[in-house]
Chains A and B, each alone.
Chain A
């Protein structure tokens, strides 16, 4: 039975990285002081799964490494060791190291063994130091666990007696006792006694069930772990008791090394005098049983394609919807086959159903791509932990709305800007503890990440209660760098916006955390490419809030269709502020050419759509005949002069560049209900286009004059 183990590698890596994330967040929670056994258990389980998996796949370095981690965690779990800051730091470092190892294996690269050894030594030292509680127990023989240190694990034993009674379904899990015996036989001299008392009559015998049990004796210099490794995959499917064959029989070697409850059932099974190890905390089987304990070294696959995990509920939903759609379709085709005018009602209701189902289907499909924002948020506790320790600041990170769902693409693209913002808040926002105390604030700073839906948008806020933005300083810096003119009155918002200018940094000292002056402009650009924007609220001495507004998805937008001549265009609804009728007397001309009108306190330029797009057959030539739609894009406001507003609808964005090229003033295209194509307007592009044309007109005017 040969199985290509490589096919499971991708799953193993995915699960391991998930496990690492779980360990990391678990460790960080420990760090915050809320010690509870379940938290340590979670970390332990993740470690154990990785150990088991890597052993199976022959990644021995990983298995050995995790084994040491596991030993340390096991002591913490049993309360034999106190959870100290130092130990947590070492474990966190080990998680990083493990992640690097797995990444290296995944991309078929060499593992940096020096680094691994370094971390392993740190772990070993920590283990040897014994912890506070451990030192008390150090002279107890029970403390001698094989996993404690390699020296202990190699205790010379003469052999082992193993009582192995598989459960009836063992064979169905794909495990083969013969194979395991063969593995044992490789370790030393093996004598096998089979007990077939449990075998039923031949007529009742199901050949797929296992009714045999075995009494194995193996002699030789074998460590307990080697035995455990053989039974690693079946421990949940059998009753197993391992007894040491030593000079003093009856002293049962404790099987705490991996902390499974494998010896617990053995107590009932073997009523021998031996003392089984105390049952440890439960260890749910979190790994895949179908994998055979055949561990052959196989070359690791290079990093796999991107995949997402989808809630089965979402898929079930989708399947339901498709079923409904099929029913509607067959109903419609039935109507179509024998159509007469009196079945019109049926047809209409069928079509209405079809429409509803298609829309629901569309929503469900979009839903599949939606992931909770937690995918981005999970990395922040670690980031804050590391950086605050490095800078000597005390910071609590709070996160709310982690379950808010966003499109996968948005998640991927938003994580870098968010990291940048959080780093900024850490570095520039939150003050040093003594400064905070001096300012009458609690010593510990607070950074809050908050995500929520608002309208068709998701809003992600990064708040801190630090020193806030210093308007004076920002302004002075901007003037110094020649980014703004002196003596120009600016609103608070405009001043804050300055930090998004390229090459702007007010940090007096450059740190390796932030402050190089690249970044905030990139942050804003990244957010804008996602179709979002970023707002700043800040009060000096009280803190700042950076709010990112993003569309939920990049594939669909709410649009307002507008008519210009015979043509239809789509304006993104988010960019429309209002639509008004403008009469000639509201309009002023600047330098005889540029038209502006006054909207409340603001003068807005008017862009005549039919002029800049060269549309013929325009109905509205005079301003009073059409409508002006006030739009905003990237901070620029203007009025678009159009013939008429049509309907509001959700449009699916199609790329114009896929088969054509970029066109200024147009961000994409969509297909309307009648099958025709409508272009989606890009407001900032339109403003640029209008300015270019005005400049060109000016030029040609100057030439003719």
Chain B
């Protein structure tokens, strides 16, 4: 993992329910407030729909629902973090709904710990590692895996 690199990296931390996650800040394009989306028929329930981002059609996914953390009402502080992903040289943009953005944290990559093994009970495949920020435990998300579109199992979701 990144443990031996020993460099400082900045991460954007955000809150989902009572948990705190962070993503590499270089992968964040912008942060927008929640606005109504246009639903796409017959896709996974966590894929909320698409919005018009300055002329581009950008899909929005709900991370709470993606991680099975239940559904929450969208409030004025609900934000959409727009991530970019490089897909064979093409930039893809996708919005992720989170409860709130907390702050930007400096992380010494040497201090990143491996995710504890929970066996089959908890899926940790999207988590790159865990880091302590003060008293808080922050989980570092793997943006590429997170945004990878699993088109295979979406047709039964309606």
**A residues lining the B interface (CB < 8 Å):** 567, 612-615, 654-656, 658-666, 669, 671, 675-679, 689, 692
Q: Is B92 an interface residue (CB 8 A)?
A: yes
Number of A-B contacts (CB under 8 A): 70
**B35-57 vs A, Cβ < 8 Å mask (1 yes, 0 no):** 01111111100000111100111
> Smallest Cβ distance from B40 to chain A, in angstroms?
6
Chain A contact residues: helix, strand, loop or mixed:
loop
The one of B36, B49, B57, B93 in contact with A654, judged by C-beta atoms closer than 8 angstroms, is B57
Most buried by A among B40, B43, B59, B93: B40
A114–B37 Cα distance when bound, in Å, is 66
> Smallest Cβ distance from A614 to chain B, in angstroms?
4
Given A659-B59, A659-B93, A659-B94, are A613 and B51 neighbors across the interface (CB < 8 Å)? no
Beyond A613-B41, A663-B43, 4 additional pairs, beta carbon < 8 A: A658-B57, A659-B57, A675-B52, A676-B36
**B44-83 vs A, Cβ < 8 Å mask (1 yes, 0 no):** 0000011110011111000000000000000000000000
Most buried by B among A655, A671, A675: A671
| A614 with B42: CB separation less than 8 A | yes
The one of B41, B49, B55 in contact with A666, judged by C-beta atoms closer than 8 angstroms, is B41
9 residue pairs from A and B, CB less than 8 Å apart: A567-B38, A656-B57, A660-B50, A660-B59, A669-B38, A669-B50, A671-B55, A675-B52, A678-B38
A660–B155 Cα distance when bound, in Å, is 15
Q: Is B5 an interface residue (CB 8 A)?
A: no
Given A658-B57, A660-B149, are A679 and B93 neighbors across the interface (CB < 8 Å)? no
Most buried by B among A654, A655, A658: A658
> Smallest Cβ distance from A644 to chain B, in angstroms?
17
Contacts of A669 in B (CB 8 A): 38, 50, 57
Q: Is B121 an interface residue (CB 8 A)?
A: no
| A677 with B57: CB separation less than 8 A | yes
Most buried by B among A659, A663, A675: A659
Closest to A676 in B: B38
The one of A658, A663, A676, A692 in contact with B40, judged by C-beta atoms closer than 8 angstroms, is A663
> Smallest Cβ distance from A288 to chain B, in angstroms?
37
Interface size of B in residues (CB-CB distance below 8 Å) = 25
Contacts of B116 in A (CB 8 A): none
- In the complex, chain B residues 78-98 whose Cβ is within 8 Å of any chain A Cβ: 90, 92-94
Q: Is B134 an interface residue (CB 8 A)?
A: no
The one of B39, B41, B56, B158 in contact with A658, judged by C-beta atoms closer than 8 angstroms, is B56
> Smallest Cβ distance from A372 to chain B, in angstroms?
30
Closest to B94 in A: A659
Q: Is B151 an interface residue (CB 8 A)?
A: yes
> Smallest Cβ distance from B81 to chain A, in angstroms?
15
Contacts of A675 in B (CB 8 A): 52
Most buried by B among A612, A614, A660: A660
Contacts of A664 in B (CB 8 A): 42, 155
A677–B58 Cα distance when bound, in Å, is 10
> Smallest Cβ distance from A674 to chain B, in angstroms?
10
Given A677-B50, A677-B51, are A658 and B38 neighbors across the interface (CB < 8 Å)? no
A671–B50 Cα distance when bound, in Å, is 11
A661–B57 Cα distance when bound, in Å, is 11
Given A613-B41, A666-B40, are A655 and B151 neighbors across the interface (CB < 8 Å)? no
Contacts of A689 in B (CB 8 A): 42
Contacts of B56 in A (CB 8 A): 654, 658-659
> Smallest Cβ distance from A559 to chain B, in angstroms?
15
> Smallest Cβ distance from B91 to chain A, in angstroms?
9
Contacts of A614 in B (CB 8 A): 41-42, 158
A309–B51 Cα distance when bound, in Å, is 36
| B41 with A656: CB separation less than 8 A | no
A328–B140 Cα distance when bound, in Å, is 50
> Smallest Cβ distance from B20 to chain A, in angstroms?
27
| A677 with B41: CB separation less than 8 A | no
Contacts of B49 in A (CB 8 A): 677
> Smallest Cβ distance from B116 to chain A, in angstroms?
33
The one of A655, A662, A665 in contact with B57, judged by C-beta atoms closer than 8 angstroms, is A655
Contacts of A613 in B (CB 8 A): 41-42
A613–B157 Cα distance when bound, in Å, is 11
Closest to A564 in B: B41
| A663 with B41: CB separation less than 8 A | yes
| B92 with A658: CB separation less than 8 A | yes
Contacts of B93 in A (CB 8 A): 659
> Smallest Cβ distance from B72 to chain A, in angstroms?
19
> Smallest Cβ distance from B28 to chain A, in angstroms?
15
A664–B39 Cα distance when bound, in Å, is 14
Contacts of A661 in B (CB 8 A): 149, 151
> Smallest Cβ distance from B30 to chain A, in angstroms?
14
A656–B149 Cα distance when bound, in Å, is 13
Most buried by B among A656, A677, A679: A677
| A656 with B42: CB separation less than 8 A | no
| B52 with A665: CB separation less than 8 A | no
| A660 with B42: CB separation less than 8 A | no
A615–B158 Cα distance when bound, in Å, is 10
The one of A659, A662, A679, A692 in contact with B38, judged by C-beta atoms closer than 8 angstroms, is A679
Closest to A654 in B: B57
Pairs of residues from A and B, 4 with the lowest C-beta to C-beta distance, nearest first: A613-B41, A677-B38, A660-B59, A614-B158
| A663 with B92: CB separation less than 8 A | no
Contacts of A666 in B (CB 8 A): 40-41
Contacts of A692 in B (CB 8 A): 155
A664–B49 Cα distance when bound, in Å, is 15
The one of A612, A655, A662, A671 in contact with B41, judged by C-beta atoms closer than 8 angstroms, is A612
| A665 with B41: CB separation less than 8 A | yes
Contacts of A663 in B (CB 8 A): 40-43
A255–B38 Cα distance when bound, in Å, is 76
> Smallest Cβ distance from A641 to chain B, in angstroms?
15
A613–B93 Cα distance when bound, in Å, is 25
> Smallest Cβ distance from A679 to chain B, in angstroms?
7
> Smallest Cβ distance from A590 to chain B, in angstroms?
24
Contacts of B36 in A (CB 8 A): 676
Closest to A674 in B: B52
| A660 with B41: CB separation less than 8 A | no
